[in-house]
Each structure stands twice: as structure tokens, then as C-alpha cells.
Amino acid sequence: MQKTAADILGLEYQQVRPKINVPKREPSIKGKYVCIGIHSTAQSKYWNNSGGWQKVVDRLKSNGYEVVLITKESGTYMGNVPPKGIIDRSGSLPLSERINDLSHADFYIGLGSGLSWLAWAVGTPTVLISGFSTPNTEFTGDDVERIFNPATCNGCFNRLRLDAGDWNWCPDHKDTPRMFECTKSISADLVIEKMKKFMK
């Protein structure tokens, strides 16, 4: 089992959810909706399952949800194409706008990134897709579904220092068929199954 910094230092770890006072404002989106965050700061943080996001969006829309993209990065970013049929609220909006969108959403689906942590802090149920980090790295709770495949290579961020100058950093399997297998192997069906917990 991978040791955490707390284990190594002999510290007791207790997770505390930050308290964010969410101002009462009208939602920017009418009707029921889900926020998604598909972009991040390195390809290893992405959900690298081709077509996965589109299948999830299609399922949500077939269940009467609007799907709202709230990442800072707009459109196609570093070769990563957003799914079709979404409401695009990407771009450099104030944090208060992101908090408002998240606070009115039924739930959030994202990656191991700041937006997922913000959703959790706001109290929005969160589906977190990640393979680059082990589950003990992120937050937990009854309103969190952490999707992770332990049967693949995983947790490189827990073992090694990221090479920030290499967008396609995959320290164990770069330029091989196993590159980014930690999230390529996470199916849309699994994400859909986990998000059902929060669907109304």
C-alpha cells in the first residue's frame, strides 16, 4: 500500500471540509443541470477515455439535465475536445460565478483538480475521475464518488515529481500503448453508474 506523507511522518490525518459561505443568488442556468470540468493542467490529469465525456453528457441530457462546462480553459485545449450539447460557461470568470454555478447544480463531474475541490467545499455532490493520484490524496464523503482503477498503473503523482514542462508526462508508460491507462481504462458506463447516486 502506498504511504502518504502523514504515514511517513507519523501524523494523524483528519479531513475537514472548508466552510464557504455561498451568497444567495439566482442560478445562471434555468432548470436542472450538472457542472463538468473536463480540462486540467497536464494530460495525465485528464479522463483519457476517448468518447467518455460525450457518452456521459448524452446520458445526462436524456435524463433531462443541461450540462454546463465551467473550466477556465475554453473550447479545444491541448487537443482535448469538449463534448457536444453542453452549455459552455468556460473561460476566465470570477470565482464567485463558479461558486454560484456549483451551488445550484445537482452535482459536479470532474478531475483531480481545483474545481473538484471547490465543488466539494461548496457542498455540491462530486464525481471525481482520477488515476494519476491515489484515492487517499483527495477528499471523501457520502456526497463523493471517487472513480479509480487500481488494476492499472496509477498514482504517479504520489510517487514522482511532475515534469511540468512535459504536457504528456506519463513516467512509466510514455509513448507506449499503456500511456495514460489509469484513466483510459475508466469506462463511461462506470462513470454513469456512479453518478446515478446523485441523479434526481
pTM value is 0.91
Assigned domain for 11 exists: no
- Radius of gyration of the chain measured on its C-alpha atoms: 17
Assigned domain for 15 exists: no
DSSP string of 164-199, one letter each residue: TT-TT--TTTTTSTTTTHHHHTS-HHHHHHHHGGG-
Residue 127 to residue 149: CA distance in whole angstroms: 14
Residue 6 to residue 108: CA distance in whole angstroms: 29
Assigned domain for 102 exists: yes
Assigned domain for 14 exists: no
Assigned domain for 7 exists: no
pLDDT at 12: 56
pLDDT at 16: 83
Residue 193 to residue 144: CA distance in whole angstroms: 13
pLDDT at 21: 79
pLDDT single digits (tens) 129-177: 999 999 999 999 999 999 999 999 999 999 999 999 999 999 999 999 9
Assigned domain for 34 exists: yes
Q: How many domains is the chain partitioned into structurally? A: 1
- Range(s) of the domain holding residue 190: 29-198
Assigned domain for 20 exists: no
Average pLDDT, the chain: 93
pLDDT at 10: 55
CATH number at residue 73: 3.40.50.2000
* Residue pLDDT tens, the chain, 200 long: 555 555 555 555 567 888 787 888 999 999 999 999 999 999 999 999 999 999 999 999 999 999 999 999 999 999 999 999 999 999 999 999 999 999 999 999 999 999 999 999 999 999 999 999 999 999 999 999 999 999 999 999 999 999 999 999 999 999 999 999 999 999 999 999 999 999 99
Assigned domain for 13 exists: no
